[in-house]
Amino acid sequence: MVGSVNDLNGETCIAKLGFATNFGNTHGPFGAAGGKEFSVPVVDGRIVGFFGQYDKYLKAIGVYLAPN
């Protein structure tokens, strides 16, 4: 998972979000360019779920991981 955090209309939020699979497929990134980049590399495991926080915009996102 990759993305960026930026200010949008005075609120800090997830501005861009993208995903890559273990098969090499990519989805996104979706959203606006710019901001502070972040990534969640998953080496020995798999993403099994997501959690987050939102208001008017997506404020935070995280992943639940499980071993392979």
Mean per-residue pLDDT over the chain, rounded: 94
Phi, psi at 61, each rounded to 5°: -145, 145
According to the model, what pLDDT value does residue 22 have?
84
- pLDDT value at 5 more than 90: yes
Q: What is the DSSP string of the chain?
A: -EEEEEEETTEEEEEEEEEE-TTS-EEEEEE-S-SEEEE---SSSEEEEEEEEESSSEEEEEEEEE--
Q: Which band of pLDDT confidence, cut at 50, 70 and 90, is reported for residue 33? A: confident
Residue 47 has pLDDT above 90, yes or no: yes
**Residue 12 confidence (pLDDT):** 94
